[in-house]
Amino acid sequence: WSGICHDQNVLNLYPWFNLLNEKGMKGIRESQGSQGEPFNLRQAEIIIGQGVTNAINGIMNVNQAVEYINARIRNETGA
């Protein structure tokens, strides 16, 4: 693992990559809401990505994209 963090080809493409080795990987993916109810974070990420893509491609404006994201997350993930 530490070898890849010092590989110049990797660091040229991803200059932040060596920080993973220095700081350690301690990220946590939440799979439940604040009340302990199940939450599908992957589905929420997909919904957010679709909303952002729609805004970037001019399919909807930013406000519409935010409303779209919020409505879908509420309806499809139970958040």
Same domain, 38 and 69: yes
Distance CA 79, CA 43 (A): 11
The pLDDT assigned to 27 comes to 58
The yes-or-no verdict on residue 40 having pLDDT over 70 is yes
Do 62 and 24 fall within a single domain? no
What per-residue confidence (pLDDT) applies to 26?
58
**36 or 56: which carries more pLDDT confidence?**
56
Q: Are residues 39 and 55 in the same domain?
A: yes
What is the pTM (predicted TM-score) of this model?
A: 0.58
- Average pLDDT (43-60) is 94
Domain hosting 7: range is 1-28
As for how many domains the chain has, the answer is: 2
Contacts for 38-46: CB closer than 8 Å, 24+ residues apart: 38/78, 39/77, 39/78, 39/79, 40/77, 43/76, 43/77, 44/73, 44/77, 44/79
| Average pLDDT of the segment spanning 53-69 | 96
**pLDDT digits over 8-37, tens only?**
888 888 887 777 666 555 555 667 777 777
